Amino acid sequence: MATMQAPPRARIHEGPFVNEPLTDFTREENARKMRAAVEEVRGQLGREYDLIIGGRRVKTQDKIKSINPAKPSELVGLFQKAGKEHVEPAMEAALKAFESWSRTSVEERAAIVFRTAEILRERKFEYAAWMVFEVGKNYAEADADIAELIDFCEFYPREALRLAKAEPPVQLPGERDLLMYIPLGVGAVIPPWNFPSAIMGGMTLASIVCGNTVILKPSSDSPAIAAKFVEALEEAGLPEGVVNFCPGAGASFGNAVVAHPKTRFIAFTGSREVGLDINKRAAEQAPGQVWIKRTILEMGGKDAIIVDADANLDAAVDGVAAAAFGFSGQKCSACSRAIIDERIYDKFLERLKARVEKITLGDPAKNPGMGPVINEGSMKSILEYIEAGQKQGGRVLTGGKRDSNAGEGWFVQPTVIADVKPGDRIEQEEIFGPVLAVIKSRNFDDALQIANDTEFGLTGAVYSSSKDKLDRAIREFHVGNLYINRKCTGAIVGAHPFGGFNMSGTDSKSGGPDYLYLFTQAKSVGIKTT
């Protein structure tokens, strides 16, 4: 990365935050640009990438292969694999960079992040194309992912500038009282593969714009997108050592970074099991550790959409299908449970089956409705869940199998399992794939009880025309992100601060006005003036 230098010429945005618009791929001009970007990126597949530690490029004996889940014979990139021996060099580089970066003005830090937004915006189709190949997103899903990252590049600097102007609510006579939000230190950023641009970049940007430095360990399923993001940071003028790019195994490199006494915070998004393990490791005081490590955890969900008898049925069917099968159901916010009033249950199933069977499955480079799941292990797990659902009395309404006609990759048909009972395994456990469990409810009270009967609490939605029922849902449906008469996926930065309750995580609310507090610590100063 670049050495410390004067901030690049980038505007410090004084205007209000505005979300990055999504691309309309029904317009041939946009579809043509995306196809061109796909072919451009196709020509870059198979390259080798180094670790970046304190600006140094480092090679390792062990490698990580990133493959195309739609075509596993195709190598997206070859990556060095960080091991335990790289933890100390990465930590030392991050600590050294923290000395100067933490003292860099918030205006300079914001300028670099704003410049990163400009770079990403200029190459939006290219970055989306990397997601087509590496994680199997179709054009719209990939575009939304990079748009969200651009939003974070615009939103978090504004929030950092706002925090820099914070004042205590009282000024005592004869004093000048100050309230400052100062950086924490070195953080471990451990993102997932399913939003390899937005979540990876969002946690990293929130860290660095506040003056922290980062050891970034991207998912082994999506290191290429993280590498391209780090390249954009370099181009924007980020100093060496502020972000250290270290793909590696969670069980070795990741755990060692979490346990390191100099690690100040861990920002993680992923499974409940890994998140709880990180929380436990972080809670143990290591020799030489002088702080309580902060954990910022988002750990998935078992999200439900309630459809009441008085709902707009067509809108509900569309919302459920979109939320259940967008990006092959591989979203922590995905609808994996549809809870349907018994008075409309059969009619809903009939319409849902017809709607789901219109979803096209195939190579994301050709922009189908749905692509593959991320890897072979995931595919096998999903198929096992489908089998388990049937053994417990569920009825496969449509789908239920691997689709070899879609290609050589890890393709699972969009699957609807009807007649699932509350408490069944597929009604309780996060599947993370294109599987929707449909449960019949007796009434709205029953539906709310079923929806809340889970250890998770991330997203949910309710379709109803009754104001009283919707008001009850707002009070009683215990999730971090609740949507009324719309799907439960697609949180928008600024409008829908994102994060859940219970085992869905620490309710960290990314993209919201309180998120940066998690990456800072408040320091109060009282100065006697008379």
Of the two residues 249 and 392, the one the predictor is more confident about is: 392
Q: Which residues are catalytic?
A: 298, 332
Domain residues of the chain, as ranges?
28-299+508-526, 303-492
| CATH class of the domain at 28-299+508-526 | alpha beta
String of DSSP letters for 377-442 = HHHHHHHHHHHHHHHTT-EEEE--SB-GGG-SS--B--EEEESPPTT-HHHHS---SSEEEEEEES
- pLDDT tens figures, 32-77: 999 999 999 999 999 999 999 999 999 999 999 999 999 999 999 9
Residue type, 111: A
- What percent of the chain has a predicted confidence (pLDDT) above 70? 97
Mean pLDDT value across residues 101-105: 98
Question: Dihedral sign, CA of 496, 500, 504, 507?
Answer: positive
**Element housing 51 (H / E):** strand 51-53
- What percent of the chain has a predicted confidence (pLDDT) above 90? 96
**pLDDT given at position 321:** 98
**pLDDT given at position 251:** 86
What is the pLDDT confidence band of residue 13, given thresholds at 50, 70 and 90? Answer: low
Mean pLDDT value across residues 205-212: 98
CA distance 148 to 194: 13
pLDDT value at 2 more than 70:
no
C-beta atoms surrounding 464 within 10 Å? 23
Provide the token pair at 467.
């104001």
**pLDDT given at position 393:** 97
- pLDDT tens figures, 372-382: 999 999 999 99
**pLDDT given at position 12:** 52
Three-point CA angle 44, 49, 53, nearest 5°: 150
Residues pairing with 215 in the sheet: 188, 244
What is the pLDDT confidence band of residue 11, given thresholds at 50, 70 and 90? Answer: low
Question: Dihedral sign, CA of 33, 45, 93, 149?
Answer: positive
Quick one: fold of 303-492? Aldehyde Dehydrogenase; Chain A, domain 2 (3.40.309)
- pLDDT tens figures, 338-366: 999 999 999 999 999 999 999 999 999 99
What is the pLDDT confidence band of residue 454, given thresholds at 50, 70 and 90? Answer: very high
pTM: 0.96
Beta carbons of 330 and 432 less than 8 angstroms apart: yes
**Same CATH fold, 303-492 and 28-299+508-526?**
no
pLDDT value at 96 more than 60:
yes
What is the pLDDT confidence band of residue 399, given thresholds at 50, 70 and 90? Answer: very high
C-beta atoms surrounding 328 within 10 Å? 33
Mean pLDDT of the chain: 96
pLDDT value at 91 more than 90:
yes
**pLDDT given at position 14:** 61
